[in-house]
Amino acid sequence: MLVVDDEVRLAETVQRGLAAEGFVVDVVHDGEEALWAGTENAYDVIVLDLMLPKLNGYRVVEQLRARGIWTPVLMLTAKDGEYDQADALDLGADDYLTKPFSFVVLVARLRALLRRGAPERPAVLSAGDLTLDPVSHAVARGDVPIVLTPREFGLLEYLLRHKGEVVTKSEILDNVWDSAYDGPANVVEVYIGYLRRKLDTPFDRKSIQTLRGFGYRIEDKG
Amino acid sequence: MLVVDDEVRLAETVQRGLAAEGFVVDVVHDGEEALWAGTENAYDVIVLDLMLPKLNGYRVVEQLRARGIWTPVLMLTAKDGEYDQADALDLGADDYLTKPFSFVVLVARLRALLRRGAPERPAVLSAGDLTLDPVSHAVARGDVPIVLTPREFGLLEYLLRHKGEVVTKSEILDNVWDSAYDGPANVVEVYIGYLRRKLDTPFDRKSIQTLRGFGYRIEDKG
DNA sequence: GGCGATCCTCAGCGCGTTCTCAGGTACGCC
DNA sequence: GGCGTACCTGAGAACGCGCTGAGGATCGCC
C-alpha cells in the first residue's frame, strides 16, 4: 500500500495506524515521487492526497491510468465540492474521502477497495495477440510494444472496432480521415501498407487481409 | 441511454460525465418514471439504481422483462452482499456495479454492455451447410471458408436471397451486373460455373441447379 | 535554419478479376 | 436415335485494383 500526502505528520500517523491494522505501507510526499513509486511497484491500493507539491493528485491518477496502471486509488480531498469529487472519479480514482476523516472510516474504505480488487480495465481492443488500448494509445504484439503515428493508430483502431467485418476504403476514408479530405483513396492503401510493415514484421503475421474489390478485414485470430 | 437514481446530484454528475463520453443521457429519479421511460423509449442501455422510491430496481427490471423489453440493464447497488447481485442478475439485469463506483469502471462496463448488445448482425444467408455473411463477406461450407471474387460473391448472394425460387439469367444480369452491361448473357453461365467449382469441390455437392429454359435455383438443403 | 517525423501524392508494376469466344456436352423433343 | 438448342467449359486477352518506392509539403523541435 502506498500513502501519498505532503503533510508529513499526518502521513506518518496514517502509516503507523495502517501498519497496526496489518498493512505494509510506503509513504511519499509529493506527486512526482508518487508517480514514480506507483509505476515501479505493484501496490494493491494507493491513498492519494489531492493537494500535492509538483504534481497534484488529479495528474497523478491521470498519468498512472495513461500508463495502464489500474491500481485502486482512494483520493483524499480537503474540499468537499461536488466538482472535486466528480473530477476525481472522472479521472479514474475509485473512491474519495473528505478531510478531516476518521481513521476507522479510512480503514473501512480501504478494505472495501481491496475486496473489490482492481477495477475492470476499459475495453482494450484486440485481435489475437495484437492489442490496442484506446486510453493509453498503446499498441503491442504480445509483450512487444509497437509505435504508431496518429494516422496509423486511427486506422488500426477503426479496423479493430470492426473486427471480423469487411470495411471498404470509402468507409475508412469517412471515419478515419477528416471529412474535408477528398484526395485519392490511395492514401488508405498506403497506410495499410505502413501498418502491415509495423504489425507483421518481424512477427511473420498477416494481420490485415485484403479482400480485393471489397476492402480490408482484420480477424480475431490476428 | 437512461440513468435512474434518486440521488439527484449523483445522477447529474453521471449524466454530465457520460455526455462527455459521447452518450445521450436521460435521467429520471424513481421507479415508476423509469418503467414508463424504459417502456416508451428504445434505449440502448439503462443504468438503474437498486434503491428507488415507489418501485425498486428489482421490480423495474422484472416489469420491463415481463413486457418483453430486453434493453441491457446495469444495476447500481449500495449493498455488496452476494445475494443482491445474484438477485439482480436473476431478474434480468445484465451487469451490476457496487456503490461507490469509479467513473472509468462505469464507462467501461457500459461500453461492454453496448458491445454485447449490439452484435445483432443481419441474418447470415445459408443453404444447408453453406453460409454467406454479408457483413464480413465470408463464405463457408460448414467450417471450411471459401474465397470468392466480388462478382462470384454478388451472384451467390443474389441466389441465396431468392433461395428456393427460380431466377432467370436476365434477372441475374439486371441485379448482379452493372446496368450498363449489355454483353452476352453467357457471362452468367460462366460465373455459375466458377461458383459450382468453388462450392461443390471437393465437397461433392450440387448447390446450384439448372432448370433448362428457365434459369437457376439454389435449394435450402444446399 | 536544419532536421526529423508525419502526411500525402504520384506513377509504375504485378497480378487477380472479369469477360469474350469457340468448341464441346447434355438435355428434350420428335 | 437424331437433331436442335440451351448450357458448360477451357483458354486467353483486356482491364483495373491494390501494392510499393520515391519524393514533395508541412509542422514542430533543437
Per-residue pLDDT reduced to its tens digit, B117-135: 543 444 578 888 899 988 8
CB contact under 8 A, A166 and B109: no
D15 C1' to A174 CA distance, Å:
28
Distance between CA atoms of B119 and B136, rounded to whole angstroms? 12
Identify whether the C-beta of residue B127 lies closer than 8 Å to the C-beta of residue B207. yes
Q: Do A166 and B102 touch (CB under 8 A)?
A: no
What's the pLDDT band for A188 if we cut at 50, 70, 90? Answer: very high
Q: Rounded to an integer, what distance in angstroms lies between the CA atom of residue A99 and that of residue A97? A: 7
Low-confidence ranges of chain B (pLDDT < 50): 81-86, 118-122, 222
Hey, what's the cell of B8? Answer: 439527484
Q: Give the confidence band of A140 by pLDDT, cuts at 50, 70, 90.
A: confident
Judge if the beta carbon of B178 is closer than 7 A to nucleic acid strand D: no
When CB atoms are compared, the residue of A92, A122, A217 closest to B136 is A217
In this prediction, residues A113-141 reach a mean pLDDT of 66
pLDDT band at residue A115 using 50, 70 and 90 as cut-offs: low
Place of cell 433448362: B212
In the structure grid, which three cell numbers stand for residue A125, read together?
A: 481492443
In terms of DSSP bridges, do strands A46-49 and B215-218 run parallel, antiparallel, or are they unpaired? Answer: unpaired
Separation in Å, CA B136 to CA A33, A104, A136, A183, B47 = 49, 56, 29, 27, 32
Total Cβ atoms within 10 A of residue B219: 13
**Lookup: cell for A40:** 515501479
pLDDT band at A83 (very low <50, low <70, confident <90, very high): very low
Angle, CA A31 vertex, CA A25 and CA A33 arms, to 5°: 55
Positions 108-137 of B with beta carbon below 7 A from strand D are none
Q: Which of B127, B116, B12 is nearest to B73 (CA)?
A: B116
Residue with cell 489500474: A70
Residue A17: name the closest of A34, A1, A32 by CA: A1
pLDDT at A126 over 80: no
Q: Is the CB of B184 under 7 A from strand C?
A: yes
The answer to whether some atom of strand D lies closer than 7 Å to the beta carbon of A169 is yes
Burial of A97 per CB tally in 10 Å (0-12, 13-18, 19+):
middle
Spatial distance between the Cα atoms of A48 and A33, rounded to a whole number of angstroms = 12
Whether residue A43 is predicted with pLDDT greater than 70 in this model: the reply is yes
Could B108 and A122 be called an inter-chain contact, meaning their C-beta atoms sit closer than 8 Å? yes
A123 and B103 in contact by Cβ < 8 A?
Answer: no
